[in-house]
């Protein structure tokens, strides 16, 4: 029997986590071999590796403990990669040498696969005087543009998708420009943005007081606090950013408040970190721990949960010693504090399997109970490791015992810490688990609700045909296995069934027992009113959350489509797909159009001519010509036109040509064209073919190519706006893209983009 609960899980493993040689030859024979590799690597730092390797391997079996993707992909490979997911870079010195030195460090970290966070509050505001050069400062936003371009370049060179977080204090003079930055759909695409909100600012908002914008001890101007808060809320309402980080609350609750000050987080917000801070991640899969699911006796055995937590903590502590680091400062920081972030995934599935509706008071209580067990077991284990191996180097007994999180632990755990110390300064975090959750059988991600109970995924086969594959949520699949097609219990709810308050209640319940933070997206409907939307953030503040991220479908990020009252063109129907077994002869005359592409990296423009043939009164592409004065491209343009034309003349559904071309990435980097990032000149040609197919009625809309049949997903009988889950996936063209834990995630192919 396969180790995988669904075909998509095996595909994710082979694509992202299976060890392969440089030429692509698989080195991990199966999932068991991958787990063997990880268990062996994480047992290596132990005094007796042979004793611990089987215990580590058992924790991984059945996808019960899921180390983060960097660990699964990199552990035991002897490759120059980091096993840490999260980094906050050093404080940016407000000088040209300091700024570009920080840029270099960011590039090195991104190159090794780490996501990074930066606080740009240390850069002087736009218009401030720069002494010695008789010039005015350009401000932090201008340098963020430089970071953004660097990240795109690193990504286009074949490295892991870049992900960055930028923060700015609510009292920085350029805060209003920062808040409005994402209104430009082409700007800062590689960044997540969050405002560092302080306690005095929230007090000023409540009292409708004045708020000074200050840098370097100088007050540049004063604004109304409530007006600034409304500007932040309006930007988030209109284009989903910036998020809000309650930075004073984070620092006050930090176990290490005596040794560090935090001003930034990693890209998805679950790890507030100091300068050069680093943290690794892992998740306990609650969905795999439910006993007697869908019965009155359904439960998670808390003793087994505590035992699994203990093993996971030991494994993660060993990663600190097994990992490489992009920078020596990151290695020093990680080893001085031995910070780790153990969290959960599959929470919504576990709740449904126990008969609890996500967001209900009973589900909130169960979430708190499970997270409390994990927190106590994690700290108990870390105290035991301290007795065995020593506390983290910066351990301060009195300061740690006084920390708010430690104060909430069970008395026997606090006593163990007092006696032995702690191996790890911080231990818990709830991270995005996107593809790792797919690997585990499509369990619900992190503490997010179930996104979709099931959906149909179209899979392109080697022979060019497509097959349909039903992808079910793990808990739904378990219900079907046990009860067939019996209707799902009422406990099964998905994102569309929930009110924003349900999300906030669940995040707050988990946050009480998480010493770092939580990556979570509160999805709200497009039609929610602005005042109700603002209340979501105030509820997060009032219930003790450390930050808040929402996603409302909007025009900037895509997802609101206006449907026309006119009927769709006949050419978009199934009758348009013509099957031909031999190429047609070319008629003497054809109808066509010529398009011009000015590629920023080329001196000469490309001219693309697409000619169509009329069959049964409908146009379909028949041939293509690409011309340019740039002889560098002559050979491949001739080959390209012949191959594409040959495909066109064979008939059938040729729309896959579009997405095959659009998926080509140039290692030298792509370009921004009309507000969109195009990864290569071939992708630009694919875009032209797509626009032509849409204009002639062969395709009904953008993104309807590979893995999606040429059918309009919109209901043309309606005249009102139709809200889709999100923009099309850049990898497969699917509309099954949703926001979860700060990441755009494609349910069709597993693509995720956090940044």
Active-site residue (options: 270, 448, 478, 690): 270
Name 281's Cβ contacts closer than 8 Å, sequence gap at least 6: 67, 68, 70, 85, 86, 270, 271, 340, 341, 342, 343, 429, 431
d(CA 255, CA 273) in angstroms, rounded, equals 12
Among 451, 455, 488, 485, smallest CA distance to 470 is for 455
d(CA 550, CA 240) in angstroms, rounded, equals 7
Residues 659/706, Cβ–Cβ less than 8 Å: yes
Q: In what order do the strands lie in the sheet with 743-746?
A: 737-740, 743-746, 752-753
Assess whether 270 carries a catalytic annotation: yes
3 state DSSP class of 458: strand
**H/E run at residue 426:** none
Active-site residue (options: 85, 192, 266, 611): 266
Name 291's Cβ contacts closer than 8 Å, sequence gap at least 6: 297, 298, 299, 300, 301
Q: What is the DSSP string of 190-226?
A: TEEEEEEE-HHHHHHHHHT-EEEEEETTEEEEEEEHH
- Joined together, the tokens standing for residue 325 give 């680091």
Residues 614/601, Cβ–Cβ less than 8 Å: no
Assess whether 266 carries a catalytic annotation: yes
Exposure on the CB side of residue 551, measured as CA atoms within 13 A: 28
Q: How far is CA 719 from the centre of its chain?
A: 33
d(CA 199, CA 542) in angstroms, rounded, equals 12
**H/E run at residue 590:** none
**H/E run at residue 103:** helix 96-111
- Joined together, the tokens standing for residue 396 give 């301060």
411-420 helix and 361-389 helix, angle to the nearest 10 degrees? 20
3 state DSSP class of 245: strand
- For tokens 């055995």, what's the residue? 301
Length of the chain, in residues: 755
Beta-bridge partner residues of 211? 223
Q: What is the DSSP string of 18-54?
A: S-B-TTS-B-S-SHHHHHHHHHHHHHTTSSSHHHHHH
Q: What is the DSSP string of 94-159?
A: SSHHHHHHHHHHHHHHHHTT-EEEEE-TTSPPTT-EETTTTEE---HHHHHHHHHHHHHHHHHTTS
Residues 457/8, Cβ–Cβ less than 8 Å: yes
49-60 helix and 31-43 helix, angle to the nearest 10 degrees? 140
Active-site residue (options: 86, 151, 170, 268): 268
Assess whether 376 carries a catalytic annotation: no
**H/E run at residue 720:** none
Among 190, 194, 115, 101, smallest CA distance to 145 is for 190
Beta-bridge partner residues of 14? none
Active-site positions read: 266, 268, 270
């Amino acid at each position: 029997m396969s180790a995988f609960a669904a075909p998509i899980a095996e595909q994710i493993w082979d694509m992202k986590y299976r060890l392969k040689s440089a030429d692509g030859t698989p080195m991990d024979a199966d999932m068991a071999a991958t787990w063997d590799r990880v268990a062996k690597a994480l047992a290596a730092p132990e005094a007796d590796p042979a004793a611990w390797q089987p215990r580590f391997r058992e924790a991984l079996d059945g996808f019960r403990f899921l180390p983060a993707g960097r660990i699964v992909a990199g552990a035991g490979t002897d490759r120059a990669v980091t096993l840490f997911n999260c980094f906050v870079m050093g404080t940016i010195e407000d000088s040209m040498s300091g700024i570009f030195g920080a840029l270099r460090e960011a590039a090195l970290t991104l190159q090794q696969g780490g996501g990074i966070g930066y606080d740009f509050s240390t850069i002087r505001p736009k218009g401030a005087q720069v002494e010695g050069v008789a010039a005015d400062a350009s401000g932090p936003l201008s340098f963020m543009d430089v970071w953004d371009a660097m990240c795109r370049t690193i990504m286009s060179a074949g490295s892991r998708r870049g992900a960055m977080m930028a923060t700015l204090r609510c009292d920085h003079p350029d805060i209003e420009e920062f808040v409005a930055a994402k209104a430009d759909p082409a700007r800062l695409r590689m960044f997540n943005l969050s405002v560092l909100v302080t306690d005095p600012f929230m007090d000023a908002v409540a009292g409708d007081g004045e708020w000074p914008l200050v840098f370097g001890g100088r007050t540049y101007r004063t604004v109304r606090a409530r007006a600034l808060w409304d500007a932040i809320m309006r930007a988030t309402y209109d284009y989903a950013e910036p998020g809000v980080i309650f930075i004073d609350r984070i620092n006050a609750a930090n176990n290490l408040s005596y040794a560090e000050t935090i001003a930034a987080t990693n890209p998805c917000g679950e790890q507030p970190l100091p300068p050069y801070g680093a943290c690794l991640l892992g998740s306990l899969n609650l969905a795999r721990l439910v006993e007697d699911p869908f019965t009155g006796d359904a439960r998670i055995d808390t003793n087994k949960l505590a035992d699994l937590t203990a093993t996971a903590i030991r494994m993660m502590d060993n990663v600190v010693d097994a990992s490489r680091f992009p920078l020596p400062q990151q290695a020093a920081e990680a080893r001085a504090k031995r910070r780790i972030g153990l969290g959960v995934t599959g929470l919504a599935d576990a709740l449904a399997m126990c008969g609890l509706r996500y967001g209900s008071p009973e589900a909130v209580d169960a979430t708190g109970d499970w997270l409390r067990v994990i927190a106590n077991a994690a700290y108990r284990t870390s105290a035991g490791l301290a007795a065995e191996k020593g506390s983290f180097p910066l351990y301060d007994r009195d300061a740690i015992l006084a920390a708010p999180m430690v104060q909430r632990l069970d008395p026997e755990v606090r006593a163990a810490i007092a006696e032995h110390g702690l191996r790890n300064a911080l231990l818990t975090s709830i991270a995005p688990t996107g593809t790792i959750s797919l690997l585990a059988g499509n369990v619900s991600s992190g503490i997010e609700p179930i996104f979709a109970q099931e959906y149909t995924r179209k899979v392109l086969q080697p022979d060019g045909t497509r097959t349909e594959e039903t992808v079910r949520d793990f808990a739904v699949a378990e219900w079907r296995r046990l009860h067939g097609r019996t209707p799902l219990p009422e406990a099964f709810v998905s994102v569309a069934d929930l009110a924003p308050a349900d999300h906030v209640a669940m995040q707050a319940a988990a946050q009480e027992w998480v010493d770092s933070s939580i990556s979570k997206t509160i999805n709200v409907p497009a039609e929610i009113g602005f005042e109700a939307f603002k209340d979501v953030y105030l509820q997060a503040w009032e219930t003790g959350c450390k930050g808040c991220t929402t996603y409302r479908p909007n025009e900037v990020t895509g997802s609101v489509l206006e449907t026309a009252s006119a009927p769709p063109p006949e050419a978009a129907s199934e009758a348009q797909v013509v099957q031909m077994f031999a190429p047609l002869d070319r008629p003497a005359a054809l109808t066509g159009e010529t398009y011009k592409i000015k590629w920023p990296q080329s001196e000469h423009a490309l001219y693309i001519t697409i000619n169509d043939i009329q069959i049964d009164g409908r146009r379909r592409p028949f041939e293509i010509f690409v011309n340019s004065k740039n002889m560098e491209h002559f050979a491949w343009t001739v080959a390209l036109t012949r191959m594409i034309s040959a495909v066109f003349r064979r008939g059938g559904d040729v729309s896959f040509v579009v997405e095959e071309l659009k998926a080509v990435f140039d290692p030298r980097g792509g370009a921004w064209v009309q507000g969109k990032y195009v990864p290569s000149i071939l992708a630009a040609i694919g875009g032209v073919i797509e626009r032509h197919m849409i204009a002639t009625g062969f395709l009904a809309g953008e993104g309807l190519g590979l893995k999606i049949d040429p059918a309009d997903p919109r209901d043309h009988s309606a005249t009102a706006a139709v809200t889709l889950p999100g923009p099309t996936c850049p990898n497969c063209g699917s509309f099954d893209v949703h926001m979860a834990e700060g990441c755009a995630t494609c349910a069709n192919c597993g693509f995720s983009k956090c940044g």
